[in-house]
Structure 1
Amino acid sequence: MGLNVKGGDDSVGDLTGLKVAALAGGVGAAKFLRGLIEIVPQENVSIIGNVGDDLTLYGLYISPDLDIVMYTLADLVCREKGWGVEGDSFNCLNMLSRYGFDPWFKLGDMDLATHIYRTYLIKNGLTLSQATLELCRRLGLKVKLIPATDGYLRTIIVSNEGRLAFQEYFVKRKCEPKVLDVVFEGADAAEPAPGVLESLEEADVIILCPSNPILSIGPILAVRAIRCLLRSFQKPIVAVSPIVAGRALKGPADKIMLELGLKPSALTVAELY
C-alpha cells in the first residue's frame, strides 16, 4: 500500500490500513506520534524506542524515552514539561533528599511507580521489551512500543569534562559541557529486541521521528541489524527534521551539531541519515 495523500484541502486519504514503523526518541517524537495515531489506528503503529538514555537510579531501571512516548500516547504526560506525569507529586524525592540523596534526576511519585513495576518485572525474568509491552497494556495502549534492543546500549558523551553518561550530560549538567564526540557503548554486540525487525519489514512506511538525530535516533541506528534493514528497505522512509531554520525545535540538537562541526539544518539531518 502506498501513501495516499489528497491535495488541496489539507486532508489525508484513508490511512486506516497503513502500517507504520517509527524510530523514536523522547519529547519531539512523542508529540509527533500523538498526532500520528489520530489518523493511523494504534494497532498499525510500531514504535522502535531509544534506550541509549536508560539508567539505573535508586535501584530502579529507568527508560526515559520509552516512558515519555508511553505517557504521551496514554494522555498522561505533563504537557508543560513534555515528560513525567501530569499532576505528579514529589514526596518520595523530597524524602530521599532528607536522607542525603542528590535529587538531580526529577522523578515524581506516579512516575516512580512505573519504574518500580518495570524493575519488578525485569527482576522476575521479563526482558525490557516484555516489560514495556506489559506497561503499555496496563495503560490501555494498542501501539506496539518496542525498545531497540533488550541488551546493553548506552549513549556516552565525550566532552571537555570527560566521558559523561547521557543523563549526566543532559539533566545533571544541563547540556553545558562541550561535546567532542558521541559513543554508543555496547552497540557492537546489541541485537534488535524481538519484534523490531519484523515490525520494520512489515511496515508500508518507516518514519524517523523529529528527535535528535545524534542522541536519540543515533543509538537506534547504531544497532547493526536495524541499520542494515533500513538500507535495504524498498518502501518509503521518511525523516522528519527536528531542526527548523537552523534551530532545534526543542533540546540541544543544534548546539551539539555546531560543536561537532556540523551545520544545524534539515539538510544536515538528511545527510546524517
Structure 2
Amino acid sequence: MRITVLAGGVGGARFALGLRDAAPDAAITVVANVGDDMWLAGVKVCPDLDSLMYALAGVVDGDRGWGRAGESERVAGELTAYGVGWPWFTLGDLDLGTHLARTALLREGRTLTEATAQLAARWPLGVTLLPVTDDEVPTHVVTDEGVIHFEEWWVRTRAQLPAQRFVQHGAERARISHAARAAIADADVVLIAPSNPVVSIGTILGLPGVRDALETAAAPVVGVAPIIGGRALRGMAATCLAVIGVEADAAAVAAHYGARSQGGILDGWLLAEEDEAGLAGLRSLGIRAEARPLLLTPGEPAAQVAREALALAAAIAG
C-alpha cells in the first residue's frame, strides 16, 4: 500500500509515527509544509521538515516536541552576543548542524527536495520525507504593527499580537514539486494529518498545483481533525482559525476543507467522539464522517488513530 500524508510539524509528526506503527509494510510518503521556513543567521531553517525528521528518527526532544534531544546552545549564545539572529528563536547546536548541512547543499545547487533526501538518509525514518515545493513561500502575518514572519508572530508574540491575515510570500510563483505531485497521484490513500488547518495544511493547499493533484487523485482523501471538543490538539490553531473566520470546531474545519465531490479536498473525515454532533452536517455536505478516539498519545493510541483513518479510506474506496 502507498500512503501519502500532507502534514505540518509537531502534530503531523505524532500522526506520522502512529501511521508508521499502524502500517509497517506500507510505503509512506510525508509531504510537509514549508511556509514556516526562513533564512536565519545565514542558514536555511525548515521547522516542519526538521520536526518530522527528528521525530521519525527518534531523536526529537520529547518534552518540547521539537528540536533535538540532548541539545546545547553554545552557538546561539555567541550569535546573541554578536547581535545576530533572533534571540527569542534559539538554534540548538545539533539543530544548527542540520541547518548548515541543508544550506551547504542548497548553495551547491540542490533543490530542497534533494537536500531533504540527503539529510533524511542519515536516519532510519521508515518514510519518504518531501517538502511540498522547492520554491520559497515564507508565511508572513499582517498585523496592526506591520508585517512580520510567521515564526516571529508564533514564537516571540505567542500569537498574542492581533493578526489581520496570513500571506504566503511568493506563493503565486511557486509550484508543487514533481515528487510531491507524484506522491499524491500514485497513492492508494491520501491522508490529511491533524496539523494546523490554516498555516500548515492551508499553506500546502494554497500552493498552485496541490488542489489540482488532490482533485485528480484516484485515492480517497481522508482527514483527521486537529480540534477535539473545541480545543486544538497542539499549538494555537484556534487563534489562526479565528483570523480566517472559521470556528475552532472539528466539523467547521472539515467544512472549510470541503467535500471533494463539491470542489473541496475531503472524501472522509475523522472527528473525536466528543464532536459526534457534527457528523450529520458533514455527511449532508458529502463528507463521509466518523467519530473515533483521536488523542495522539505516543504508541498504540496514535497507531489506532492511523488505523481508523486507513479503515475509513478503505470503506470509501469500497
TM-score (ref. length: structure 2): 0.77
1:39 paired to 2:8:
no
Change beyond 3 A, Cα 1:182–1:123: same
Distance in structure 1 (CA, Å) of the matches to 2:180 and 2:9: 18
Counterpart mapping for 1:182-261 below 5 A: 182-261=166-245
| Residue 271 of structure 1, aligned match among 224, 235, 255 | 255
Query: Alpha-carbon deviations, 1:86-114, whole Å to 9, x = none?
Result: 11011111122222334221111100000
Q: What displacement does 1:42 show? A: 7.1
Q: Distance in 2 between matches of 1:171 and 1:243?
A: 21
1:1-16, aligned counterparts within 5 Å?
none
More off after superposition, 154-163 vs 207-216: 154-163
The question of whether the paired residues in 1 share the 8 Å contact of 2:4 and 2:191 is answered with: yes
Distance 1:33 1:133 in 2: 17
* Alpha-carbon contact 1:42-1:143 (below 8 Å) kept: no
Residue aligning to 1:174 = 158
Q: Structure 1's 50 and 57: CA in aligned 2 closer, same or farther, altered over 3 A?
A: same
Cα distance in 2, alignment partners of residues 258 and 167 from structure 1: 18
**1:186-232 deviation digits (Å, cap 9, x = unpaired):** 11111112311111111111111010000101111111211112123
Aligned to 2:70: 87
2-side partners of 1:218 and 1:259: how far apart?
Answer: 13
Of the structure 1 ranges 137-146 and 57-66, higher mean CA displacement relative to structure 2 is found in 137-146
Structure 1: how far apart are the matches of 2:91 and 2:9? 16
CA RMSD of aligned residues (A): 1.4
Partner in structure 2 of residue 165 of structure 1: 149
Distance in 2 separating the partners of 1:255 and 1:141: 32
Structure with the bigger percentage of helix: 2
Residue of structure 1 in register with 2:46 after alignment: 63
Counterpart residue type for residue 188 of structure 1: E
Residues 33-75 of structure 1, C-alpha deviations (whole Å, 9 max, x = no match): 0111112237600111101000001100010000000000000
**Deviation above 3 Å: which 4+ runs of structure 1?**
none
Match of 2:114 in 1: 130
Q: Which residue of 2 aligns with 1:143?
A: 127
Of 14, 19, 37, which residue of structure 2 is paired with 1:54? 37
CA contact (8 A) 1:43 1:142 kept: no
SS in 2 for 1:206: strand
Give SS of 1:138's match.
coil
Number of residue pairs aligned between Structure 1 and Structure 2: 256
The 5 A counterparts of 1:97-136 are: 97-101=80-84, 102-136=86-120
5+ residue gaps, structure 1, are 1-17
Measure the CA separation in 2 of the matches of 1:118 and 1:155: 20
- Quote the Cα distance in structure 1 between the aligned partners of 2:73 and 2:98: 14
Provide TM-score, normalisation by structure 1: 0.90
- 2:60: which partner in 1? 77
User: After superposition, what is the alpha-carbon deviation per residue over 1:164-192, rounded to whole angstroms, capped at 9, x for unaligned?
Assistant: 21111111222111121122221111111
Secondary structure of 1:61 counterpart: strand
Is the CA contact 2:242–2:248 (under 8 Å) kept in the aligned structure 1?
A: yes
Task: Name whichever of 56-65 and 168-177 sits farther off.
Answer: 168-177
